[in-house]
Amino acid sequence: MMLKIPDVLDGEGVARVRAILDKAEWVDGNVTSGVQSGIVKDNLQLPEMGDAAQAAGKLVLEALGRSPLFMAAALPHKLYPPLFNRYAGGGHFGDHIDNAIRIRRGSDYRVRSDLSATLFLADPDSYDGGGLVVEGMVGEPGIKLPAGHLILYPATTVHRVLPVTRGARIASFFWIQSMVRDLGERSLLLDLDRTVQNMVAKIGNDDADVVRLTGLYHNLLRRWADV
């Protein structure tokens, strides 16, 4: 399941994050890589524990909390704090799979990556290349979304970022441990949740079948969720 989530950040939110990033110092992106992915990666990142990543990450986390679609789709249990990357001058990230377990440096905070997310922070017209290509998806140039939009995809998939041949592709990326580990179960819950929301919009939330379907959603979530 790949899901585009529009307007996680509005224009003002993007500008606030970019104001932090644009004056920050970037370092070689291999600081967060595993051995295999380190070989294929050519980009820059903000130092994870630096003030800029912390401040910008806080803004991203707050925005995610305000996105009902993100919450419904990811059913987040734990989130690895948002990181930031920058691709320019041919920078790219070849085929790789994200590490299954992310451990926050210097702590015992660990997150199982069920879902990977990219929040785009540059206007797609401001750079060439840089599309995200996920296994199973057809064709290049890959996914490039407007600034403030997010793509959510299973962390189990091989994926890559195509070379950026003009301008700079700036994004936030992070991983989510979902309350519902299984992709199929999570997809069913999202489908049911959206259907119920649509029914509520059409016939209200006091209809007996809406009440029952809402109950079904919660009873399935109770059955499948680990918290």
Site for Ni ion, rule CB under 5 A: 98
CB of 4 or CB of 212, closer to Ni ion: 4
CB of 19 or CB of 101, closer to Ni ion: 101
Least distance to Ni ion, CB of residue 114, Å: 14
Phi and psi torsions of 206, nearest 5°: -110, 5
Length of the chain: 227
Least distance to Ni ion, CB of residue 183, Å: 17
Least distance to Ni ion, CB of residue 27, Å: 18
Phi and psi torsions of 95, nearest 5°: -55, 130
**Half-sphere exposure of residue 155: CA atoms within 13 angstroms, side-chain side:** 22
Least distance to Ni ion, CB of residue 78, Å: 18
CB of 34 or CB of 221, closer to Ni ion: 34
Least distance to Ni ion, CB of residue 99, Å: 9
CB of 48 or CB of 98, closer to Ni ion: 98
Cα 11 to its chain centre, rounded Å, is 18
**Half-sphere exposure of residue 38: CA atoms within 13 angstroms, side-chain side:** 7
CB of 102 or CB of 186, closer to Ni ion: 102
Q: What angle do CA 132, 133, 137 make, to 5 degrees?
A: 135
Of all residues in this chain, which one has the CB nearest to Ni ion in the complex? 98
Three-state SS across 49-94?
CCHHHHHHHHHHHHHHHCCHHHHHHHCEEEECCCEEEEEECCCEEE
